[in-house]
C-alpha cells in the first residue's frame, strides 16, 4: 500500500526514481521507448516523477477536490498519446498541457470562485506552516499576504495568470513554460514582465499601510 498520495497504486514522490535519482530528459526518453516497445509497466516511473507537479497544476487551474481524478485522467490520456510525443522533448511541459486541458473540461460549468479557492489551497500547501508557538501577529500577517496574493492573481488576465502560475507556482523554467503554453520564449518573457508589473501595482494599492507609516520623512 502506498503512503501519502497514490495514483493507481504508484507513489507520487515528485521527480525521483528508486534510490532518489532525479529523472532527466534522457531518462524520460528511455522510459517512453520502453513503453512504446511493449513494456507498459515502465510508465509508472513517469507517474512517480511527475504526479506532484501535475496535482499542483490541476489545483492551480481550479480542480479543487477533483484534482486527483483530473490528474489520473491526464496520465491515462498522456499514456494513450505517447505515440505522438515528440522524441527528445521534455515530458513535464507536455503533460502539464494535458492536465490543464483536463482541468478545464472538468470544471467548465463551475463558478469562478472555484479558481480562487483552488489557488488558495495550493498556496497554503506550498508554504511552510507557522508553528503554533509563533507570534499570532506573524501568523495574521502571513495570512493577509497570502489572501492578498490570491486576490491580486484574480486581477490579471488569463494569459498573465497562466505565465505567473507556470513560472512561479509550478516552478517551471522559461523553456518549460514556453513548451507547456505553446508560446515562443519571447512571448513568455514579455507577458511575464507585464504580469509582474501589474501584480506589483495591485499589491501596492492593496497593501495596508503599517501603523506609523504615514507622515515619515
Q: For the chain, 217 residues long, give each residue's pLDDT as a single digit of tens.
A: 333 344 444 433 344 454 455 789 999 999 999 999 999 999 999 999 999 999 999 998 888 888 999 999 999 999 999 999 999 899 999 999 999 999 988 877 454 444 455 555 555 554 444 444 445 555 555 556 666 777 788 888 989 988 988 988 888 999 999 999 999 999 999 999 999 899 888 877 765 555 554 444 4
Shared domain check, 131 and 106: no
Query: How far is 93 from 88, CA to CA, in rounded Å?
Result: 13
User: Which residue among 78, 110, 142 closes a domain?
Assistant: 110
CATH of the domain at 31: 1.10.1740.10
Shared domain check, 169 and 105: no
Shared domain check, 11 and 72: yes
Q: For residue 213, tell me if it sits in a domain.
A: no
Which residue, among 34, 56, 51, has the nearest Cα to 43 in the 3D structure? 34
Q: What is the pLDDT, as a whole number, of residue 23?
A: 85
Q: For residue 30, tell me if it sits in a domain.
A: yes
Q: What is the pLDDT, as a whole number, of residue 135?
A: 53
Shared domain check, 93 and 26: yes
The CA R_g of the chain, rounded to the nearest whole Å, is 20
Q: What is the pLDDT, as a whole number, of residue 65?
A: 86
Q: For residue 94, tell me if it sits in a domain.
A: yes
- Domain of residue 185 covers 127-207
Task: Find out whether 146 and 128 touch, Cβ atoms under 8 Å.
Answer: no
**80-97 burial string, b = 16+ CB within 10 Å, else e?**
eebeebeeeebbbbbbbb
Q: What is the pLDDT, as a whole number, of residue 8?
A: 43
Shared domain check, 179 and 144: yes
Shared domain check, 76 and 17: yes
Q: For residue 212, tell me if it sits in a domain.
A: no
Query: How far is 174 from 213, CA to CA, in rounded Å?
Result: 38
Q: For residue 43, tell me if it sits in a domain.
A: yes
- Residue-wise pLDDT for 152-171, tens only, equals 888 889 899 889 889 888 88
Entry pTM: 0.65
Domain count, the chain: 2
Shared domain check, 180 and 105: no
Shared domain check, 74 and 9: yes
Q: What is the pLDDT, as a whole number, of residue 176?
A: 92
Shared domain check, 138 and 98: no
Shared domain check, 96 and 10: yes
Amino acid at each position: 500500500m502506498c503512503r501519502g498520495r497514490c495514483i493507481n497504486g504508484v507513489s507520487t514522490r515528485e521527480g525521483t526514481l528508486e534510490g532518489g535519482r532525479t529523472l532527466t530528459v534522457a531518462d524520460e526518453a528511455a522510459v517512453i521507448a520502453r513503453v512504446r516497445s511493449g513494456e507498459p509497466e515502465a510508465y509508472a516511473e513517469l507517474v512517480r516523477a511527475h504526479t506532484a507537479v501535475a496535482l499542483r497544476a490541476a489545483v492551480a487551474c481550479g480542480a479543487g477536490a477533483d484534482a486527483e481524478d483530473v490528474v489520473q485522467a491526464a496520465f491515462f490520456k498522456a499514456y494513450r498519446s505517447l505515440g505522438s510525443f515528440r522524441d527528445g522533448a521534455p515530458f513535464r511541459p507536455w503533460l502539464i498541457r494535458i492536465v490543464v486541458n483536463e482541468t478545464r473540461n472538468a470544471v467548465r460549468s463551475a463558478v469562478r470562485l472555484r479558481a480562487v479557492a483552488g489557488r488558495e489551497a495550493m498556496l497554503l500547501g506550498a508554504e511552510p506552516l507557522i508553528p503554533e508557538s509563533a507570534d499570532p501577529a506573524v501568523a495574521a500577517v502571513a495570512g493577509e499576504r497570502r489572501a492578498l496574493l490570491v486576490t491580486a492573481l484574480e486581477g490579471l488576465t488569463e494569459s498573465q495568470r497562466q505565465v505567473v502560475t507556470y513560472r512561479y507556482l509550478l516552478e517551471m523554467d522559461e523553456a518549460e513554460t514556453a513548451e507547456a503554453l505553446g508560446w515562443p520564449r519571447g512571448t513568455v518573457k514579455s507577458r511575464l514582465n507585464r504580469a509582474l508589473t501589474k501584480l506589483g501595482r495591485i499589491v501596492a494599492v492593496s497593501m495596508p499601510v503599517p501603523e506609523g507609516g504615514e507622515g515619515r520623512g
